[in-house]
Structure 1
Amino acid sequence: MLIENKKQIESNSAKDYIFGRCIGGDSYSLVYLAIDRHSGLEYAIKVFEKRLVRQEQQENTISRQCEAMWIMRNVPGFLQLRQTFQDQRSLYLVMQHARRGNLQGYISSFDGAACRHYAAEILVACEQLHQRQLIHGELKLQTVLLDEQLHIMLAEFGAAQKAELTAATDLRALGCIIYEMVAGWPAEQINLHDLPKDAQQLLKLLLNAPTKFVSYEQLRSEAFFTGIDWQTLRQQIPPLIYAQSSSSEFNASMQSLPNSEDLELALEQQPINCLPKAQPAHASCSIC
């Protein structure tokens, strides 16, 4: 859901949310499903434990990613950041909940039309990112999420330093995604010979992007994208695709935490476990 007005950013404490189960994480953060007590809207809240962030020396990475999410706020094709707040122990990122999961869960149902459509949507999102001098750096099927209408939303973007990676790195990653969609298997050993000619030509451009300049205009004009209406791409109904398994488990997961009294206990059962003394909704993502 895009941020449209000030009312949508009034909540500024973990006590403003009912937390459900943990749905992911890494060595210094956990992601919870949650419901805003005031609006009833669903979100995914990423909770970073500052001690672990410092231990892993990830302060700059998190700050870059948070800054990038604010820059891409209200830009179609990107997971939306609603607000951030922090306390002495943890940093909280309240994000759009991608109920439909990621593209990897659907790839077995892709036909030619689906491959073209989703390749086009990801290409447009990459162009939007690069126009703002941002690099994704982690582009893969798992970081391409889907909204309720099955349009793409890029996630986990912006953490890379420009000195480390370039826009060409994202284009090569897009080539790997398209290969997996068209070929139907991982891009560990890429063999273009069995693919349709138009896919071969596009992938040669993308996979050689780090060593040979290629423009977005050139990519959009490739035969692979014949029939794509670039102006109305996100207004179109995407080709029919099916998830390998249901990714909508939110309602069932919320049953474990129906009352506010349970919130502190539930968070304490996880490695990241502190209720905040809230800071303003637009507090900096810097770790202090």
Structure 2
Amino acid sequence: MQEHQQQQPKSPLPPRSPYQARARSTSDDWAERGAAVHVQREADANGNVQTKTIKKGVKDFTFGRILGEGSFSTVVAATDRQTLREYAIKILDKRHIIKEKKVKYVNIEKNTLNRLGDHPGIVRLYYTFQDERSLYFVLDLAPNGELFSVLKKLGTLNMECTQYYGAQLLDAVGYMHDHGVIHRDLKPENILLDENMRIKVTDFGTAKLLSMQKSVNGTTGASSDNISGIPIEDDRSNSFVGTAEYVPPELLTDKAAGRSSDIWAIGCILYQLLCGKPPFKASNEYQTFQKIIKLEYSFPALFSPVARDLVSHLLLTDPSKRLTIEQIKAHPFFADVEFGPALWSRKSPRLVPNSILAGVK
């Protein structure tokens, strides 16, 4: 994004955002044309329902610190000027995503988040709007960063913490699957922690949307709400996606991924939380893939037997033999967990490393 901006003539920055550099007339035009429109219904004192149209655009937010940067996007903290509520806003450079053929992933993320709606363990999309240079996704703010950062600091997590975060991840993934969404890139970097240290799964750019309903002519297909003004690309359902250490073997051998591919990733994450590293790790991607295909991994001698039993039933080469979401919930590893709403009101445990495996390689 910075490289792209250097190629453009700059005008004085308006105070509302460090990312807007343009003439006032053009900015005002886009403030209307690119704003998100939200219809809100409220009852007055007499019980009469009134409809109120709310528009949200760049001018309605005060932009703050940078939370993260990707290859074609920047995530910043922002405050709604009217409500003073804080959000994370993902800013995507239009020219760059078109040039690099990333439009498909932008649309996938928007459509997926719209389908998932509001779940405590999934980052929520509130508004999408645009100006002549950028697209904006207004998302939940997760002030405690990534679960990966916790692992980087502590090295490992003990059984209580692993059970807590594993249960929340399981609940969130189960909700995704029930709504026809396969994440396909689950990893600690894509698991954020909110103000209460509870998880929020993010980054749905490589997700797979499954058909949820039949159309009038009998064909099946998920709705695709394309972002205005940018042509959508052809989707390749079997294209390679994911991160090497968490990629399931079926994606490497059959070039296909299903719900059980997310189950494989959960197994990798549980192993990593307890051991401090993924089960399949080599000096390069090719060697990592070979380990995955051959199911070449091992448990440390002091690895919990109940955790070992669970992980070994998730990291299976045959996707059909992996445990289902409901079977995982019923596993002894989660014996003390009350799934459902109570899971999300439960106080998060104090972050403690897995001392049993401290120093074990």
Would the TM-score normalized by the shorter structure come out above 0.5?
A: yes
Aligned AA (2:111): E
Match of 1:184 in 2: 276
Tell whether the 8 Å contact from 1:106 to 1:242 is kept in structure 2 after alignment. no
Distance (Å, rounded) in 1 between the aligned partners of 2:176 and 2:60: 32
Displacement of 1:212 in angstroms is 2.1
Match of 1:247 in 2: none
Tell whether the 8 Å contact from 2:315 to 2:322 is kept in structure 1 after alignment. no
Distance (Å, rounded) in 2 between the aligned partners of 1:180 and 1:10: 44
Cα distance change on mapping 1:205 and 1:6 into 2, 3 Å: farther
Displacement of 1:10 in angstroms is 3.4
Which one of the candidate residues 343, 347, 352 is aligned to 1:237?
347
Displacement of 1:65 in angstroms is 0.8
Distance (Å, rounded) in 1 between the aligned partners of 2:201 and 2:266: 12
Q: Which segment is superposed worse, 54-63 or 214-223?
A: 214-223
- 1:95-174 to structure 2, matched below 5 A, reads 95-107=139-151, 108=154, 110-157=157-204, 159-161=206-208, 163-164=237-238, 165-174=257-266
Distance (Å, rounded) in 2 between the aligned partners of 1:80 and 1:169: 23
Match of 1:60 in 2: 104
Displacement of 1:41 in angstroms is 1.2
Distance (Å, rounded) in 2 between the aligned partners of 1:11 and 1:101: 29
Query: Gapped runs of 5+ residues in structure 2?
Result: 1-37, 43-51, 210-236, 239-256, 282-296, 354-361
Distance (Å, rounded) in 2 between the aligned partners of 1:64 and 1:21: 26
Per-residue CA deviations over 1:206-245 (Å, capped at 9, x if unaligned) read 11163524322211111111211113211211211279xx
CA RMSD of the aligned region, Å? Answer: 2.4
Which one of the candidate residues 194, 204, 208 is aligned to 2:312?
204
TM-score by length of 2: 0.62
Distance (Å, rounded) in 2 between the aligned partners of 1:41 and 1:13: 15
1:24 aligns with 2:68: yes
Displacement of 1:106 in angstroms is 2.2
Distance (Å, rounded) in 2 between the aligned partners of 1:58 and 1:158: 9
1:227 aligns with 2:319: no
Tell whether the 8 Å contact from 2:112 to 2:204 is kept in structure 1 after alignment. yes
Matched residue SS, 1:156: coil
Aligned AA (2:321): K
Matched residue SS, 1:118: helix
Displacement of 1:145 in angstroms is 0.7
Matched residue SS, 2:135: strand
Tell whether the 8 Å contact from 1:9 to 1:83 is kept in structure 2 after alignment. no
Cα distance change on mapping 1:230 and 1:151 into 2, 3 Å: same
Cα distance change on mapping 1:151 and 1:6 into 2, 3 Å: farther
Tell whether the 8 Å contact from 1:31 to 1:47 is kept in structure 2 after alignment. yes
Aligned AA (2:127): Q
Tell whether the 8 Å contact from 2:106 to 2:205 is kept in structure 1 after alignment. no
Matched residue SS, 1:10: strand
Q: Which of the pair has the greater relative contact order for Cα pairs under 8 Å at 6+ separation?
A: 1
Cα distance change on mapping 1:132 and 1:225 into 2, 3 Å: same
Percent same amino acid among aligned pairs? 30
Q: Which segment is superposed worse, 24-33 or 75-84?
A: 24-33
TM-score by length of 1: 0.76
Tell whether the 8 Å contact from 1:65 to 1:159 is kept in structure 2 after alignment. yes
Distance (Å, rounded) in 2 between the aligned partners of 1:19 and 1:148: 19
Distance (Å, rounded) in 2 between the aligned partners of 1:236 and 1:24: 29
Distance (Å, rounded) in 2 between the aligned partners of 1:236 and 1:20: 31
Paired residues, number: 240
- Highest CA radius of gyration, 1 or 2? 2
Q: Which segment is superposed worse, 166-175 or 187-196?
A: 187-196
Per-residue CA deviations over 1:88-147 (Å, capped at 9, x if unaligned) read 322110111110111122232622111111111101111100111111111110111111
Tell whether the 8 Å contact from 1:180 to 1:186 is kept in structure 2 after alignment. yes
**Runs (4+) of structure 1 moved beyond 4 Å?**
5-9
